[in-house]
Structure 1
Amino acid sequence: MLEQGLYEQVVNTEIKDELRQLPEGSKHVEKIDAAESSAVLTQYLSEVVHKGLDRIAGDDISAQLNLVNKIVDLISQETAQDDLRDFTVDDEGEQLFALLSRDDPMMRIGQKKAKDLPRPETSIVQSSLFTGAVHEPQMFSELKKEIASADRIDMLVSFVKWSGLRLIIDDLQHFADRGGRLRVITTTYMGATDVKAVEALRKLPNTEIRVSYDTERTRLHAKAYMFYRETGFTTAYVGSSNLSNPAMSSGLEWNVKLTTKDMLPTIQKMEATFDSYWNTASFEVYEDGCKERLERALSTTGKANPTSEMQFVFDIQPYPYQQEILDRLQAEREVRGYYRNLVVAATGTGKTLISAFDYRRFCKAFSGSKPRLLFVVHREEILKQSRSAFRAVLKDPNFGELFVGSFKPGSLEHLFISVQILASQKLYDFLPEDYYDFIIVDEFHHAAAPTY
């Protein structure tokens, strides 16, 4: 029996029978969004296949292999994609765990085998949680094994302590010596970073470091370690552990290990966000000759007014890559006369902020007043986040009205509305077609859905 509360559940036959017995007001059901249907149905089918395989599980997995291959064959037939037959599982039922280059000299002389390559104790295809419990591997021991098999590494930590770095510095040295690329972002926040640790990282080959010296506005608390593999089995750790000895060994820290095989969109967002930090002027290149500046910054941090961060008066400026998009938008309008423009950028790179910056620039032509704005998207939480972004960029805590769910606007002039409400209320029937000066449709890949 279905319990009351929130769902995001594909309606199957069993659930449909229950829903038929409920009054209309007690249920909220919508068509699966065409733009999200692949992800939604894949997740649902995964659950069904998992249950089915569990029911025929045994010491002999031939029945499971047979079922999997029937599914692969059916998908290949239904989609008319013969290349999908290459995904048929071999009858031996094996898993590949490692490969060595056939030219590896140590393998050729019999001193190295693929099965001996170090690998993390936790899976590289299933996400997991580290809580610092006694029975779990310590963070630093897992990171050492991740480093040994990574092709490139990104680290985002608010501070770097020598006590933590020394646990893995030899591993990083071997990684860099064999051609691995290491990028590190850190800060001078609270004066916690050790100059010795940053200098040790700087001396590694194939290593780049960027530091935020701005302790007035930058509050980077993120702790993330990303291990990219050309094999496609990328992993990442995100949580509470800075690069310090207690955080890496004995502390009760919580860290989630993510993998591309079960959390690909999250890994992609982490990569995009790291790159956005890396390419902003807020994080400056640390190289030979920067040591004295770092020492000064670390010795003077923590003396600022502690209440200053609570004031909503700072200016938010676009990153260089965002400014490039804004300049191209301006050129499209002023040079080519095109006023319907599509912005495409990776998840986490700030498309909503780009639209807010664009609108802020548009406002300058209205002598200080704010032109009428319509912002359309398909989910309430995205609307709230978007309005917050506009308020921050415009430095106006009262800007914009929500028209979604239980929110009813007092004015239509600066409206953040869901596409469902826009369609059901038919604003376009009673407002002039030129009522809005600036219209933004966010998450526009959903436009393939009939509701748009």
Structure 2
Amino acid sequence: MLEPGLYEQVINKQIQSELTGSSDDLKRVEKIDGAEASEILSKYVSEVLHKALDRISDDENLEAKIDLVNKVVGLISEENDLNDLKELAVADSAEQLLALLSENDPMYKIGQRKAKDIVRPETSVAQSSLFTGAVHEPQMYSELRKEMETADRIDMLVSFIKWSGLRLLFKELKDFVDRGGQLRIITTSYMGATDVKAIEELSKLPGTEVRISYDTKRTRLHAKAYIFYRKTGFTTAYVGSSNMSNVAMSSGLEWNIKVTTKDMASTIQKIEATFDSYWNSTTFEKYTHDSYDKLKKALRAERHGEKTEGYGFIVDINPYPYQQEILDRLDAERKIRGRNKNLVVAATGTGKTLIAAFDYRRFCKRNPEKQNKLLFVVHREESKLEVG
């Protein structure tokens, strides 16, 4: 019996039967979107197959379940001459591959390592899970350490980094970069919580780059994410509330969800794309040895609300790439085509006000001796444009 409420359900014959006779005003149905059909229908088939496999009793053993799966694979491969899919049938051995070691692995060559020795996280790398800080769950830092053992590339996004938290992970991070791994870290000076020692130690690691936002008034980064990329396709990410501190990593009641490519591929893709957008933003500055004093003063100012003598924050607001493209096109219209009357049309929230400010700023710089005027017309009293 269907309950009133929201659905995103493929209509099968059973549901169609229940809907028959219902007024059009009582139901909302839409055609399956062609662009999303593969995603929607594959999930539906997976649900059906899962139910069928559950109905095979334990007495009928594993072989019966594999036989059913292979019948499905065989049927699919026969359709539209997809013969290559026959190779996707489950092998008779009924086994799972859990690890693979290269013949060129130096420890393997000297007889000190086998595939069975490769460290695995306690939680699955193919199925998403939730960490709540409960007693029976593995501790966050323990899982992160184990993820580092098999990652090819690591990204971390945290509001602050405490030495107490980094210390829990430092040995594994050093082992990771020493074997050629690439580590990228984004953090901030927010609330003065970051420890300079932690940033300094990270910056000394090979293959490691740290980027920091000093603009804590405008850039309120609260996201926490630890992403472990694997060439095998079993990428995982931990997203939630744990900053890099001892309490957050070990004993705090922090919630973090472990996301995997195998069951949440689109989410992993969004995490990667968003991280890259932050990484390439001018808001986050690369930390170098010369940045030490700037970070130290920024953290002190955040902690005590003070401005040290001779030092102040200079916020240099720069356009996003899509805004810069508009500005470049405006410039081209004026310089190349001699068109000085131009119209910019952009969606709400994309920063039309800032585009106008950037354009005006550029005009003023090119005409420093003139009295440059700007007329800015808005339709709300709250809207304002401040330029100097």
TM-score, normalized by the shorter chain, greater than 0.5: yes
Provide the rounded CA distance (Å) in 2 between the counterparts of 1:325 and 1:84: 45
Give yes or no for contact 1:318–1:357 (8 Å, CA) kept in 2. no
Residues 315-366 of structure 1 show CA distances to partners (whole Å, capped at 9, x for unaligned) of 98642x4346546876999989xxxxxxxxxxxxxx97896659966xx9xx
Q: 1:97 is matched by which residue type in structure 2?
A: L
Give yes or no for contact 1:211–1:283 (8 Å, CA) kept in 2. yes
Asked whether 1:140 is paired with 2:141, we answer yes
Give yes or no for contact 2:319–2:355 (8 Å, CA) kept in 1. no
TM-score, normalization: structure 1? 0.71
Local SS of the residue matching 2:290: coil
Q: Which residue of 2 aligns with 1:448?
A: none
Change (3 A) 1:203 1:113: same
TM-score, normalization: structure 2? 0.83
Give yes or no for contact 1:225–1:236 (8 Å, CA) kept in 2. yes
Provide the rounded CA distance (Å) in 1 between the counterparts of 2:352 and 2:39: 31
Q: 1:182 is matched by which residue type in structure 2?
A: L
Q: Which residue of 1 aligns with 2:86?
A: 85
Give yes or no for contact 1:326–1:358 (8 Å, CA) kept in 2. no
Give yes or no for contact 1:152–1:182 (8 Å, CA) kept in 2. yes
Q: Which residue of 1 aligns with 2:340?
A: none
Give yes or no for contact 1:241–1:253 (8 Å, CA) kept in 2. yes
Change (3 A) 1:330 1:261: farther
Asked whether 1:46 is paired with 2:46, we answer yes
Q: CA deviation at 1:171?
A: 0.5
The percent of aligned pairs where both chains have the same amino acid is 59
Kindly report which structure 2 residues correspond to 1:108-119, keeping only aligned pairs within 5 A, or say none.
108-119=109-120
Provide the rounded CA distance (Å) in 2 between the counterparts of 1:70 and 1:370: 65
Q: CA deviation at 1:139?
A: 0.2
Q: CA deviation at 1:108?
A: 2.7
Provide the rounded CA distance (Å) in 2 between the counterparts of 1:208 and 1:262: 30
Asked whether 1:297 is paired with 2:298, we answer yes
Provide the rounded CA distance (Å) in 1 between the counterparts of 2:348 and 2:70: 46
Q: Which residue of 1 aligns with 2:25?
A: 25
Change (3 A) 1:329 1:271: farther
Asked whether 1:167 is paired with 2:168, we answer yes
Provide the rounded CA distance (Å) in 2 between the counterparts of 1:41 and 1:329: 43
Local SS of the residue matching 2:87: helix
Q: Which residue of 1 aligns with 2:70?
A: 69
Provide the rounded CA distance (Å) in 1 between the counterparts of 2:354 and 2:222: 30
Q: CA deviation at 1:10?
A: 0.8
Q: CA deviation at 1:69?
A: 1.5
Q: 1:178 is matched by which residue type in structure 2?
A: R
Q: 2:109 is matched by which residue type in structure 1?
A: R
Q: CA deviation at 1:84?
A: 1.7
Ranges in structure 2 where 5+ consecutive residues have no aligned partner = 307-314, 338-345, 360-374
Give yes or no for contact 2:323–2:355 (8 Å, CA) kept in 1. no
Q: CA deviation at 1:18?
A: 1.0
Provide the rounded CA distance (Å) in 2 between the counterparts of 1:301 and 1:122: 38
Change (3 A) 1:302 1:21: farther
Q: Which residue of 2 aligns with 1:266?
A: 267
Provide the rounded CA distance (Å) in 2 between the counterparts of 1:300 and 1:122: 41
Tell me which moved more, 296-305 or 62-71: 296-305
Give yes or no for contact 1:76–1:84 (8 Å, CA) kept in 2. yes
Q: Which residue of 1 aligns with 2:194?
A: 193
Specify the structure having the higher radius of gyration (Cα): 2
Provide the rounded CA distance (Å) in 1 between the counterparts of 2:284 and 2:42: 39
Q: 2:26 is matched by which residue type in structure 1?
A: S
Give yes or no for contact 1:326–1:354 (8 Å, CA) kept in 2. no
Q: CA deviation at 1:287?
A: 1.1
Provide the rounded CA distance (Å) in 2 between the counterparts of 1:197 and 1:352: 42
Tell me which moved more, 219-228 or 352-361: 352-361
Residues 373-392 of structure 1 show CA distances to partners (whole Å, capped at 9, x for unaligned) of xxxxxxxxxxxxxxxxxx9x
Give yes or no for contact 2:234–2:261 (8 Å, CA) kept in 1. yes
Q: How many residue pairs are counted as aligned between the two chains?
A: 352
Change (3 A) 1:91 1:247: same
